[in-house]
Amino acid sequence: HPEVAARYGVEGVPTVLLFRDGELLAKLPGPRGERGLREALGV
């Protein structure tokens, strides 16, 4: 979905977009394992 990628500024894959109540909270570009995702999320 190129239009969605453009809307959120996604330039590469993988990119994780975190939303809460429809609001973009964070954009995490690049590959991340479980540890990297946990660190980014603070869990």
Torsion of CA 20, 24, 29, 31, to 10 degrees: 10
Would you list the domain boundaries of the chain? 2-41
In percent, the amount of the chain with pLDDT more than 90 equals 88
Mean pLDDT (whole number) for 17-30: 94
For residues 13-19, give the mean pLDDT.
Answer: 95
Does 40 score more than 90 pLDDT?
Answer: no
d(CA 17, CA 8): 8
Cα angle 21, 38, 33; round to 5:
115
pLDDT, average across residues 22-35:
94
Distance between CA atoms of residues 17 and 27, nearest Å: 5
How high is the mean pLDDT of the chain? Answer: 94
Q: What is the model's pTM?
A: 0.77
